[in-house]
A and B are shown apart, each in its own frame.
Chain A
């Protein structure tokens, strides 16, 4: 069986000489939760954008279930895969429900409005993200965490099999960060949604992801399950920090101690 999502030999750069991503290969299996980590400028967000077809690679292909994205209809891709971007339009005055209804777009013909069973999916997406009570509020009235959940609800209304997330917890406080991660864990486990997430917080990556891919200078330097990847040498080589790694019931937890001295 073809992997749910596959990247083959991706290359991307603003100028041919210096590439942000080079020789990137990745296979994501159905139902897994993959975390992409790496220092700033390692190309992880660019990789995610290429996976989501928001950026076109200069070389290489992205395929979903063995079919290259470049040859697929955009709506067909959108029925199967979507992404929660890091930042969203912040001045939109529409209700949460109106936003979430737009998630049905890939399932509708160009003249069709969301109604009937599509509205039931919208109800479900609102409930699963606990946005039901806020559905008639304007996006402008929401807190940062609620707004993030509203956009996630729109993603869920697309009923994707693959969900990409670009540092979704960056602007959230710790409680909202964990709330979001727990929500995604439920979507991953109960709905079987394949998750690919770029994440800054390495301890959260270790706790929630099945598999970690670490990037540096545009290519993968480590890959494996969290306990295989998160070792003292990894923090030294990839992030340039000295760290202590503890084991908390099988989950590695790291404690940064300082920058590596040359």
Chain B
């Protein structure tokens, strides 16, 4: 108590973490630009960086322009947006559930969107144009059902997770049943189920962009709420926060973002779980830095993984979701073990 009684020296105002966070942010943006550039250079035909640049700024009929502008750029940008959406959703959900295993799948987004997509692809293949909108609505409905089932004078994180597990297994079973009964059509469904950017072009990007933009703007307003909710329900309530409304809004925005992403690129599962984890190990739980870095990290991971997926296995275009799991899981385990020791 002596220190209190004698009074302490003036407090250091500057948080040393701010400098570190600034470095992470700049490094993250630089890395994102780098993976985008490599993504544009890489493919069955390699295009040097200088030609990529020329093709980007000068409209021409050259082959490089065709490949970079019409094929690779929309695909890279679609992957980037999907990664951003999924990582933000995962970062939010891990916080409001206070559970490191939470990801956009836990509230039924993947299984709801997946079932809707499988229904379209198998039962109504003529309506394939409606696949994104069906998957998006399927994701929203499934998340609403999970939330509704968990409500009992409030939606506690534990009940939300349990309701999510139940709804996910039900929808998963329905999906599997459909696929077993129509096994001849399963081939068409598989790339979507594992998440793929094959053939994604400008219309996909243009569909996803407004959803991502709206979701990111909404996220900015929820940062403060998320920072209170991670303290726990009791602590947040004691600080005057309206816990249930805050949690509902965060789940809503996360569902919106993740649903939009999977409706365009399929069930890319790993990003929303692993990216927030890695970023949290780097910068901690403060959403003011955690959320933007997770968003950047999600973009980096999906663009890098898709670049690898389409170049390493050439001429087969490997679904990016599978590569993410194959490479991401061991890396994730390594980080976890290192994190536990430190």
Contacts and interface: CB of A to CB of B under 8 A. Distances in A.
Interface of A: 52-54, 73-79, 82-83, 85, 88-89, 92-95, 97-99, 102-103, 105-106, 110-111, 113, 123, 126-130, 132-133, 135-136, 138, 151, 158, 179, 182-183, 186
B286 A102 contact: no
Given A94-B286, A98-B286, A136-B12, A79 B240 contact: yes
Interface stretch (B1-9, B52-60, B127-135, B206-214): B1-9
Interface stretch (B186-194, B230-238, B291-299, B324-332): B230-238
A168 B235 CA distance: 15
Contacts of A85: 232, 234-235, 238
A76 B1 CA distance: 32
Contacts of B240: 73-79, 105-106
Nearest to A104: B239
B15 interface: yes
Contacts of A94: 284-286
Interface of B: 1, 3-4, 7-9, 11-12, 15-17, 98, 221, 224, 227-228, 230-232, 234-235, 237-242, 280, 284-286
A110 B224 contact: yes
B238 A135 contact: no
A88 B15 contact: no
Most chain-A CB neighbours within 10 Å: which of B9, B98, B232, B280? B232
Given A127-B7, A130-B8, A133-B8, A88 B284 contact: no
Contacts of B15: 95, 97-98, 136
Given A105-B241, A138-B284, A182-B1, A89 B11 contact: no
B157 to A, nearest CB: 12
Contacts of B230: 89, 92
A161 B303 CA distance: 53
Contacts of B3: 130, 133
A54 B238 contact: yes
Contacts of A113: 224
A78 B224 contact: no
A93 B285 contact: yes
B284 to A, nearest CB: 4
A133 B7 CA distance: 12
B232 A89 contact: yes
Given A92-B230, A102-B231, A130 B1 contact: yes
B237 A127 contact: no
Contacts of B224: 105, 110-111, 113
Contacts of B285: 92-94
Contacts of B234: 54, 83, 85
Nearest to A82: B238
Contacts of A82: 238-239
A96 B234 CA distance: 19
Contacts of B4: 127-130, 183, 186
Contacts of B98: 89
A78 B242 CA distance: 12
Q: Majority SS of interface residues in chain B?
A: loop
A179 B221 CA distance: 40
Nearest to B5: A186
B239 A78 contact: yes
A130 B6 CA distance: 11
A78 B17 CA distance: 29
Contacts of A133: 3, 8
Contacts of A111: 221, 224
A167 B237 CA distance: 19
B11 A103 contact: no
A106 B4 CA distance: 26
Contacts of B1: 130, 179, 182-183
A113 B230 CA distance: 17
A1 B284 CA distance: 47
A158 B235 CA distance: 12
Contacts of A127: 4, 7-8, 11
Contacts of B9: 132
A52 B234 CA distance: 10
9 contacts: A75-B240, A79-B240, A83-B238, A105-B239, A110-B224, A128-B4, A130-B4, A136-B15, A182-B1
A53 B237 contact: yes
Which of B7, B224, B238, B284 has the most chain A CB atoms inside 10 A of its CB? B238
Nearest to B8: A132
Nearest to B230: A92
A69 to B, nearest CB: 12
B11 A132 contact: yes
Contacts of A179: 1
B282 to A, nearest CB: 10
Contacts of B232: 85, 88-89
A144 B22 CA distance: 30
A107 to B, nearest CB: 9
A94 B15 CA distance: 11
A156 B3 CA distance: 18
A60 B220 CA distance: 40
Contacts of A110: 224
B294 to A, nearest CB: 14
Pairs of residues from A and B, 10 with the lowest C-beta to C-beta distance, nearest first = A78-B240, A75-B240, A93-B284, A106-B240, A132-B8, A105-B239, A130-B4, A74-B240, A89-B232, A82-B238
